[in-house]
């Protein structure tokens, strides 16, 4: 689904690392530690440029620490006993969140999973672009980019070999088919 004119103009870029057989994790508690240095650099460059990342609570729980030098928005209830600098929990309407970020001056935001959170944003027509990196390994089964069936056309904007074994694909989201 394409953004309509009443939606915030802030650009939402979905950034996900995939295995060669299309999975993002083996389970919802797995930390993404299987990507290359070039992949990690790409993620930090994109999210650093945006200055803000949005992730689901399950993904946040897999991290050893919040991502440094950028605002971490965690979709879900705050289960932390202490306040973490640079982390904000949000359990309301994603549209309201994007409006708030836009009013704070952010021009783009990196949406970085997991599948459940990506699906919420997709179903509201909030995702503009996707950057997928394909790493040289396969899981056979696991978690996909989305947690539900979706139907979406993409336009390939850019592709690149970011290291010996890893490919980056950048897509524009067109529209959700009915």
Ligand X SMILES: NC(=O)c1ccc[n+]([C@@H]2O[C@H](COP(=O)([O-])OP(=O)(O)OC[C@H]3O[C@@H](n4cnc5c(N)ncnc54)[C@H](OP(=O)(O)O)[C@@H]3O)[C@@H](O)[C@H]2O)c1
Q: Enumerate residues 27-86 that contact ligand X by CB under 6 A.
A: 27-32, 55-59, 62, 75-77
Alpha-helix runs per DSSP H in 93-151: 94-103, 115-123
CB nearer to ligand X: pick between 5 and 139: 139
Distances (CA, A) of 129 to 14, 41, 140: 6, 19, 26
Edge-to-edge strand ranges of the sheet holding 129-135: 87-90, 71-75, 52-56, 108-111, 11-19, 129-135, 166-176, 152-163
- Return the residue of 8, 13, 24, 131 that touches ligand X, per CB under 6 A: 24
- With 0-12 / 13-18 / 19 or more C-beta atoms within 10 angstroms meaning exposed / middle / buried, residue 73 is buried
The enclosing H or E element of 38 equals helix 37-50
Q: Enumerate residues 89-148 that contact ligand X by CB under 6 A.
A: 91, 94, 112-117, 120, 143, 147
Q: Which residues pair with 56 in a beta bridge?
A: 75
Q: Which residue is nearest to ligand X (CB)?
A: 114
Q: Does the protein bind ligand X through residue 166 (CB under 6 A)?
A: no
Helix (H, G, I), strand (E, B) or coil at 118: helix
- Return the residue of 17, 98, 101, 131 that touches ligand X, per CB under 6 A: 17
Q: How far is the CB of 58 from ligand X (least distance, A)?
A: 3
CB nearer to ligand X: pick between 108 and 115: 115
Q: How far is the CB of 92 from ligand X (least distance, A)?
A: 7
The enclosing H or E element of 161 equals strand 152-163
Q: How far is the CB of 123 from ligand X (least distance, A)?
A: 10
CB nearer to ligand X: pick between 25 and 98: 25
**Would you say 122 and 9 are in contact if contact means Cβ atoms under 8 Å apart?**
no
CB nearer to ligand X: pick between 50 and 55: 55
Contacting positions for ligand X (CB under 6 A): 16-17, 24-25, 27-32, 55-59, 62, 75-77, 91, 94, 112-117, 120, 143, 147
């Amino acid at each position: 689904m394409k953004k309509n004119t009443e939606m915030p103009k802030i650009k939402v870029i979905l950034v996900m690392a995939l295995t060669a057989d299309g999975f993002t994790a083996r389970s919802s508690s797995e930390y993404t530690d299987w990507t290359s240095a070039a992949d990690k650099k790409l993620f930090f460059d994109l999210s650093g440029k945006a200055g803000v990342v949005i992730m689901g609570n399950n993904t946040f729980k897999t991290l050893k620490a919040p991502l440094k030098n950028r605002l971490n928005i965690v979709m879900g209830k705050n289960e932390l006993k202490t306040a973490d600098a640079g982390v904000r929990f949000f359990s309301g309407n994603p549209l309201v969140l994007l409006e708030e970020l836009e009013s704070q001056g952010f021009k783009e935001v990196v949406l970085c999973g997991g599948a459940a959170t990506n699906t919420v944003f997709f179903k509201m027509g909030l995702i503009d672009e996707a950057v997928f990196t394909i790493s040289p390994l396969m899981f056979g089964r696991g978690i996909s980019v989305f947690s539900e069936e979706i139907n979406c056309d993409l336009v390939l904007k850019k592709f690149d070999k970011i290291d010996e074994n890893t490919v980056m694909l950048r897509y524009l989201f067109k529209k959700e088919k009915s």
